[in-house]
């Protein structure tokens, strides 16, 4: 594993003391250019060398020409001048001499001062090339012939390395603000790596290899790591977000920094390097490792509920998804397998903590909601109306919103966690509704003297529609709690509707008795009274929401028809005359028509009831036994829950039937189970004395 190297604030490498090589990185750099200038021995200046060479060439022009040609072959081009074209030679002896001298001057080994000047001008690639040439020149001469030592070269190398890696450390910033300088530093790094490879492949003597390989690529890896760590720790460039904890702010900073920096790497930095550096992978893995290590540290600490949610959101949603919203970044990340920010075991532990916290929070919210609702029932205040319907929707709104929002937050983390929480919260909702039902039953029993008793009942029936809609649309069929919730709601609705109708049915009972008491005389007036009494109650029932209103109207319709049939089965009236029977049949038909018209006009959809009274009237009107049997058959087909006892009680009205005829008609209908159960029972709820 690569040894991670410490870097100073201004750059990764310092100049060394003593004679250690350029690959030693522990020294500290102080005024590197001045330090090097002090240690490098003075040498003949370029102008002096030019004068001496000029004198020699004046004495021996032929030799000058030969020397210039040899020198031009060995000269090395620099990064800056690699594309320059050679100067065309001039004609004549003077031109030949001038060109030859220039080429000789270029062929001379660079001086330490030239290298330092290039460093100062930030021509880093040229500086590396000159340093390598100087290094080769020194290694090829005896000690007596040296004007500069290897130690001097190492001092220069330290300065150059310091400059190069200071630039590379700030690659993310320089990639857009000073790409030329960054390119110089990268090219310098590549030159050193290339020279390391050349020295290794040429099998040079040991004395020439004591400072090679310099391993700048390893230093580059360490520099990138230090740069990543520095940028991920520096939160000063990420604006503070209100109501975000320190943990949340740190997660936001790291995620934002990582994404923005990797986009710079993908778009600007990657192409500066050769493929073997695998630049994007190097940066991405270092950013990921830093982010993951701090996420793990946070997960192992005592996080509050909000921070648990934030961390899980980063682990499961924001980090793996948001990073890939940019197309270029997504393409690069697809090639890597960075993994999750947290180990699986720690992630599961955090999820469990989150689920338990959410479940407890919702349970507490629902309990407080019910307490407030019960308190409102006791207030001497009529419930508010919305669109003409009494409402007590605050309970349903708060309960449903709390559960729904909690589910959506969990789904935002990931779908699996959302499903797990949904099951837990559906259990809590089922338990809450059972408590709600018990509390409401208690109110219905003890609150009958409440001034707004009936509006409160209606408001709470209306409440059930909100819970029902939510349950049907948001709880999965496979969840057993769904049927439990719907069953509880049905119980609340049915029992409350029955309480609402108790008063009406109690008022109608003595009116219905008048039919038999008056032997069906004045039946039209009695039916009008029934309709008027019922109509007075229906006006209040219109404050129910539509599904419940139609349910109540149908119950009223069924009750009005059933109570009418009950009076016909009381055996209080017996008519021998066919005329009397026909008159009674006519009255029943008229009452049936009025009843149907009234219920239909008020919204009843119980059309299955419309034929029962006309069929009974027809049986009374008919005098032929065979015709009666046919009508009985159609009656039993339409209402299969009618039994022999019901028909026998009804035929008591037809006193002109003989025992044999009665027996024959009753034989058409045997007691027992009907051929098919009725979809809506009618006669089965009627007792015959």
Query: Of 76-80, 439-443, 573-577, where does mean pLDDT reach its minimum?
Result: 76-80
Quick one: pLDDT at residue 73? 28
As a whole number, mean pLDDT of residues 94-112 equals 62
Q: Is pLDDT at 202 greater than 50 in this prediction?
A: yes
As a whole number, mean pLDDT of residues 65-92 equals 40
pLDDT in tens, 286-303: 999 999 999 999 999 888
Note the helical H segments in 28-139.
Answer: 32-39, 46-59, 61-74, 92-107, 112-120, 124-139
Q: What is the pTM of this model?
A: 0.70
Quick one: pLDDT at residue 418? 93
Quick one: pLDDT at residue 454? 93
As a whole number, mean pLDDT of residues 407-416 equals 92
pLDDT in tens, 500-553: 999 999 999 999 999 999 988 899 999 999 999 999 999 999 999 999 999 999
Query: Of 198-202, 434-438, 648-652, where does mean pLDDT reach its minimum?
Result: 198-202
Under 8 Å between Cβ of 49 and 203: no
Higher per-residue confidence, 115 vs 371:
371
Q: Is pLDDT at 317 greater than 70 in this prediction?
A: yes
Instruction: Report how far residue 4's alpha carbon sits from residue 259's, in angstroms, rounded to the nearest whole number.
Output: 24
Quick one: pLDDT at residue 292? 94
Any idea which fold 519-685 has? Tetracycline Repressor; domain 2 (1.10.357)
As a whole number, mean pLDDT of residues 651-665 equals 93
Quick one: pLDDT at residue 82? 35
Omega prior to 213 cis, within 30 of 0: yes
Q: What is the DSSP letter of 144?
A: G
As a whole number, mean pLDDT of residues 633-652 equals 93
Q: Is pLDDT at 113 greater than 90 in this prediction?
A: no
Quick one: pLDDT at residue 15? 31
Nearest to 358 by CA among 319, 295, 411: 411
pLDDT in tens, 206-244: 555 556 678 889 999 999 999 999 999 988 878 888 778
pLDDT in tens, 246-283: 898 999 999 999 999 999 999 999 999 999 899 999 99
pLDDT in tens, 582-635: 999 999 999 999 999 999 999 999 999 999 999 999 999 999 999 999 999 999
Quick one: pLDDT at residue 279? 94
Quick one: pLDDT at residue 21? 37
Provide the β-strand partners of residue 389: 386
Q: Cβ of 562: how many Cβ atoms within 10 Å?
A: 16
pLDDT in tens, 339-398: 889 999 999 999 999 999 999 999 999 999 999 999 999 888 899 888 899 987 678 889
pLDDT in tens, 424-454: 999 999 999 999 999 999 999 998 888 999 9
How many Å is the maximal CA-CA distance in the chain?
166
Instruction: Report how far residue 244's alpha carbon sits from residue 239's, in angstroms, rounded to the nearest whole number.
Output: 11
Q: What is the DSSP letter of 404?
A: H
* 3-class SS of residue 13: coil
Model confidence at 116, pLDDT cuts 50, 70, 90, reads confident
Quick one: pLDDT at residue 24? 38
Quick one: pLDDT at residue 650? 95
pLDDT in tens, 12-32: 333 333 333 333 333 333 334
Quick one: pLDDT at residue 329? 86
Quick one: pLDDT at residue 670? 59
Quick one: pLDDT at residue 191? 86
Q: Is pLDDT at 561 greater than 70 in this prediction?
A: yes
Nearest to 552 by CA among 599, 591, 596, 506: 599
Distance of CA 226 to the CA centre of its chain: 33
Q: Is pLDDT at 647 greater than 60 in this prediction?
A: yes
Higher per-residue confidence, 77 vs 653:
653
Under 8 Å between Cβ of 567 and 523: no
Quick one: pLDDT at residue 117? 77
Distance (Å) of CA 478 to CA 68, 416, 474, 484, 526 = 93, 15, 12, 12, 53
Classify residue 418 as exposed, middle or buried by CB count within 10 Å of its CB (0-12, 13-18, 19+).
middle
Model confidence at 204, pLDDT cuts 50, 70, 90, reads low
Under 8 Å between Cβ of 279 and 273: yes
Mean pLDDT, all residues of the chain:
81
As a whole number, mean pLDDT of residues 421-426 equals 94
Residue ranges of domains in the chain: 109-227, 233-342, 355-496, 519-685
Model confidence at 131, pLDDT cuts 50, 70, 90, reads confident
Quick one: pLDDT at residue 210? 59
pLDDT in tens, 520-533: 889 999 999 999 99
Q: Is pLDDT at 86 greater than 50 in this prediction?
A: no
């Amino acid at each position: 594993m690569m040894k991670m190297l410490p870097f100073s604030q201004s750059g990764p490498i310092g100049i060394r003391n003593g004679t250690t090589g350029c690959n030693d990185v522990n020294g500290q750099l102080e005024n590197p250019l001045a330090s090097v200038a002090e240690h490098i021995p003075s040498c003949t200046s370029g102008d002096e060398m030019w004068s001496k060479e000029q004198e020699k060439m004046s004495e021996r022009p032929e030799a000058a020409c030969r020397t210039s040609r040899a020198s031009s072959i060995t000269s090395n081009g620099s990064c800056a001048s690699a594309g320059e074209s050679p100067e065309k030679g001039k004609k004549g002896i003077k031109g030949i001499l001038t060109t030859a001298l220039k080429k000789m001057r270029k062929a001379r080994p660079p001086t330490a001062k030239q290298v330092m000047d290039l460093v100062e001008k930030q021509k880093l690639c040229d500086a590396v090339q000159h340093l390598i040439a100087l290094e080769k020149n020194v290694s090829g001469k005896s000690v007596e012939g040296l004007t500069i030592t290897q130690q001097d070269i190492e001092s220069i190398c330290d300065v150059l390395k310091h400059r190069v890696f200071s630039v590379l450390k700030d690659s993310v910033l320089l990639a857009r603000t000073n790409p030329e300088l960054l390119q110089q530093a990268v090219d310098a790094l590549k030159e050193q790596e290339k020279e390391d490879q050349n020295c290794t492949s040429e099998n040079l003597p040991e004395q020439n290899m004591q400072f090679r390989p310099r391993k700048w690529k390893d230093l580059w890896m360490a520099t990138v790591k230090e740069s990543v760590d520095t940028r991920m720790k520096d939160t000063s460039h990420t604006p503070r977000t209100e109501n975000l904890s320190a943990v949340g702010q740190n997660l936001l900073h790291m995620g934002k920094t990582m994404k923005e920096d990797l986009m710079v790497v993908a778009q600007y930095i990657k192409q500066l390097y050769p493929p073997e550096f695998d630049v994007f992978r190097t940066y991405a893995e270092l950013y990921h490792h830093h982010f993951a290590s701090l996420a793990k540290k946070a997960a192992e600490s005592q996080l509050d509920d909000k921070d648990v949610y934030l961390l899980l959101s980063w682990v499961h949603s924001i980090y793996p998804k948001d990073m890939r919203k940019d197309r270029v970044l997504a393409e690069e990340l697809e090639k890597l397998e960075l993994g999750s920010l947290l180990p699986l075991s720690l992630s599961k532990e955090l999820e469990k903590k989150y689920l338990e916290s959410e479940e407890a929070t919702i349970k507490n919210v629902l309990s407080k909601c019910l307490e407030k609702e019960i308190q409102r029932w006791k207030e001497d205040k009529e419930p508010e109306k919305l669109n003409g319907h009494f409402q007590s929707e605050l309970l349903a709104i708060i309960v449903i919103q709390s559960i729904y929002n909690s589910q959506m937050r969990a789904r935002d983390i990931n779908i699996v966690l959302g499903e797990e929480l949904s099951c837990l919260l559906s259990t809590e909702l089922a338990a809450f509704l059972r408590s709600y039902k018990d509390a409401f039953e208690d109110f219905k029993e003890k609150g009958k003297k409440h001034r707004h008793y009936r509006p409160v009942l209606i408001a709470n029936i209306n409440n059930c529609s909100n819970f029902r809609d939510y349950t049907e649309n948001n709880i999965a069929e496979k969840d057993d709690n769904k049927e439990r919730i719907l069953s509880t709601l049905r119980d609340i609705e049915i029992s409350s509707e029955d309480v609402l109708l108790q008063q009406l049915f109690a008022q109608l009972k003595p009116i219905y008795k008048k039919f038999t008491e008056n032997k069906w005389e004045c039946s039209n007036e009695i039916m009008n009274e029934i309709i008027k009494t019922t109509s007075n109650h229906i006006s209040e029932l219109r404050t129910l929401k539509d599904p419940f209103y139609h349910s109540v109207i149908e119950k009223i319709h069924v009750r009005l028809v059933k109570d009418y049939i009950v009076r016909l089965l009381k055996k209080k009236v017996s008519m021998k005359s066919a005329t009397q029977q026909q008159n009674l049949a006519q009255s029943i038909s008229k009452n049936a028509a009025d009843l149907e018209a009234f219920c239909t006009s008020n919204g009843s959809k119980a059309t299955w009831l419309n034929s029962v009274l006309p069929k009974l009237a027809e049986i009374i009107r008919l005098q032929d036994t065979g015709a009666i049997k046919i009508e009985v058959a159609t009656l039993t087909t339409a209402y299969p829950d009618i039994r022999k006892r019901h028909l026998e009680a009804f035929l008591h009205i037809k006193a002109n039937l003989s025992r044999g005829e009665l027996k024959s008609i009753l034989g058409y209908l045997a007691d027992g189970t009907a051929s098919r159960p009725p979809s809506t029972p009618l006669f089965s709820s009627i007792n015959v004395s």
